[in-house]
Amino acid sequence: MASKKPTIATVAAQAGVAVSTVSRYLNGHYVSGPVRARLSEIIAELGYSRSWTARNLSLGRRGSIGVVVDSSQDPWFVQLLTGIEEELSTRDTSLMLASTELRNTYDPALVFEWIRDRRVDGLIVAKAQRRERSLFKSAAEVGLPAVAVVPDENVPHAQVLRSNNLLAGATVANHLADLGHREIAFAGGPRHSIDSQHRERGLREALEKRGIRISNEHVYSCDSWDVEAGSAFAEQFLEQPIEVTALVMANDALALGFMRVALRRGVRMPDDLSLVGFDGLPQGALIYPALTTVFQPMREMGRVACRRLFEVMEEPGRLEKIEFLMELVVRETTAPPRTLKGPERRLRPVT
C-alpha cells in the first residue's frame, strides 16, 4: 500500500519541534538558524508539500488577487504586469485581471463584484484616477487590502507606489541645458494628471535654476496618454514654425506618436528638434532614431506592489507610500541644438 502523505504534524514530530514552529518557517517568519536548517532537510527527506488550498481556507482566503487597469494593452502596464507575475510565481496565488475600458467605455462593475463577493484577497490598481475613488472606498469598507500604482490623484485608502516625477523632470532639464538648449517646450498628459504636473514642475524649476524659462506659450496638454494623442498633438504643433530646439513630452507613448507624424513631415530629430519622453518603454529603443527617455522601473514596481499587498494581507497595518527613482536613458533623439544665426530659430517642417 502507498504510504500516507506527510503532514505538517509529521514534519514537526520528525524535527522535534511544535507544529506552530513549522508553520512559522513555512510562512517565512523567524525561526532560528539550526531549526530552519533541520526543517529544510526533513521537509526534503519526507517530500512534504503544503496544502495551499487548506491554508487559504483556514485563513478565509480565495487564493487569488485582482489587478485592475484601464486597458491591459497599454505597453506601460505590460511591464508592470510582468513584475507582478514574477512575484506571484513564488507564491501559490492566481491572478484575476480587469480592464475597466475593455469595450471603450468605463465600466468597473466586475471589480465591484470582486469586492462585494470577496472573490479576491486584495487589489492592485494601476494608474487610478478620480473615478476610482469609490472603488478604493468600497474595498476599505470591507477590509480588502489595495495597492495603487502611480495613481493620478491622491488615494487615501490604499498603499501607494509612485515615481519621483519632480526629480525626473529636473533630470531632463539638466540634460537639455547641458546640451545647450535654451528654447524648450513641454507637452503634458491630461491637465488633471499629477504625474504630468510634477514632471512639468520639475522641468521648469530646474531650468529656472539654470537661467532658462519655459514660456507659457510653449506648454501644452494632450487629452490622453496614448500614441494617438501624441500624433494629434504633432499635427497641430507642426502647423506653425518650430520655435524651440527641444520638446519634452510627458510620456513615451505621446513622444512615439509625435515622432510618427514629425518624421513623415520631414522633421529630423535631433537635428531640427530634440525630443525626450518618460517611462522607458521598450518600443522607444526599437525605432530610429531611438528615443531619449527617463526610465521608470515598471517591472520592479510590479514586484514591489505584489509583495506589499501580501505583507498587508498577512499583517494589516498602517498605509505606506513607496517612491521609486527614475533614470535618464540618453539615446538618439537628443543632441546639441544647431548653431543659431539669429535671435530666433524658426524651422518650417517639410509637408
pLDDT for res 91: 79
Domain range for residue 231? 165-296
Q: Which of 278, 296, 314 is the last residue of a domain?
A: 296
pLDDT for res 1: 40
Say yes or no: 87 and 188 in one domain: no
CA 279 from chain center: how many Å? 8
Q: Contact, 260 vs 231, CB < 8 A?
A: yes
pLDDT in tens, 203-223: 999 999 999 999 999 999 999
Say yes or no: 146 and 188 in one domain: no
Say yes or no: 42 and 67 in one domain: no
Confidence of residue 51 (pLDDT cuts 50, 70, 90): low
Say yes or no: 189 and 291 in one domain: yes
Say yes or no: 178 and 190 in one domain: yes
- d(C-alpha 334, C-alpha 178), whole Å: 11
Q: Is residue 340 part of a domain?
A: no
pLDDT for res 90: 78
Record the cell numbers describing residue 4, joined without a space: 500516507
pLDDT for res 57: 46
Q: Is residue 335 part of a domain?
A: no
Confidence of residue 261 (pLDDT cuts 50, 70, 90): very high
Q: Is residue 259 part of a domain?
A: yes
123: domain CATH number is 3.40.50.2300
Q: What percent of the chain has pLDDT over 70?
A: 91
3-class SS at 136? Answer: helix
Record the cell numbers describing residue 148, joined without a space: 495603487
Q: What is the mean pLDDT of residues 18-39?
A: 80
Of the candidates 289, 262, 106, which has an alpha carbon nearest to the alpha carbon of residue 187? 262
CA 4 from chain center: how many Å? 47
Q: Where are the beta strands (DSSP E) in 264-318?
A: 274-279, 292-295
- d(C-alpha 247, C-alpha 335), whole Å: 12
27: domain CATH number is 1.10.260.40
Average pLDDT of the chain, as a whole number:
88
pLDDT for res 56: 52
Phi-psi category of residue 242: left, alpha or beta, with phi > 0 → left and psi -120 to 50 → alpha = beta
Residues in the chain: 351
What letter represents residue 246's amino acid?
A
pLDDT in tens, 55-114: 554 455 568 999 999 999 888 999 999 999 999 887 778 899 999 998 889 999 999 999
pLDDT for res 62: 62
What letter represents residue 205's amino acid?
E
Query: Exposed (0-12), middle (13-18) or buried (19+): which is 342, by Cβ within 10 Å?
Result: exposed
Terminal-to-terminal C-alpha distance of the chain: 83
Q: Is residue 134 part of a domain?
A: yes
Say yes or no: 230 and 265 in one domain: yes
- d(C-alpha 130, C-alpha 114), whole Å: 20
C-alpha distances (whole Å) from 300 to each of 217, 223, 232 are 37, 28, 32
Pairing outcome for strands 327-329 and 184-188: unpaired
Q: What is the mean pLDDT of residues 186-208?
A: 95
One-character DSSP codes across 30-41: ---HHHHHHHHH
Q: Is residue 333 part of a domain?
A: no
pLDDT for res 2: 46
pLDDT of residue 344 exceeding 50, the answer is: no
Residue 40: CB atoms within 10 A of its CB come to 12
Q: Is residue 345 part of a domain?
A: no
| Number of domains forming the structure of the chain | 3
Q: Is residue 336 part of a domain?
A: no
Say yes or no: 218 and 304 in one domain: no
3-class SS at 221? Answer: strand
pLDDT for res 341: 34
Say yes or no: 290 and 208 in one domain: yes
C-alpha distances (whole Å) from 62 to each of 51, 119, 151, 311, 338 are 14, 6, 26, 16, 61
Say yes or no: 71 and 155 in one domain: yes
Say yes or no: 172 and 289 in one domain: yes
- d(C-alpha 349, C-alpha 273), whole Å: 10
pLDDT in tens, 297-332: 999 999 999 999 999 988 887 788 999 999 999 999
- d(C-alpha 322, C-alpha 164), whole Å: 10
pTM above the 0.85 mark?
A: no
Say yes or no: 152 and 68 in one domain: yes
Which one has a higher pLDDT value, 201 or 27?
201
pLDDT for res 27: 65
Q: Is residue 350 part of a domain?
A: no
Q: Contact, 233 vs 248, CB < 8 A?
A: no
pLDDT of residue 202 exceeding 70, the answer is: yes
pLDDT for res 345: 41
> Is-cis flag, bond preceding 270, omega within 30?
yes
Confidence of residue 347 (pLDDT cuts 50, 70, 90): very low
Confidence of residue 25 (pLDDT cuts 50, 70, 90): confident
Say yes or no: 92 and 199 in one domain: no
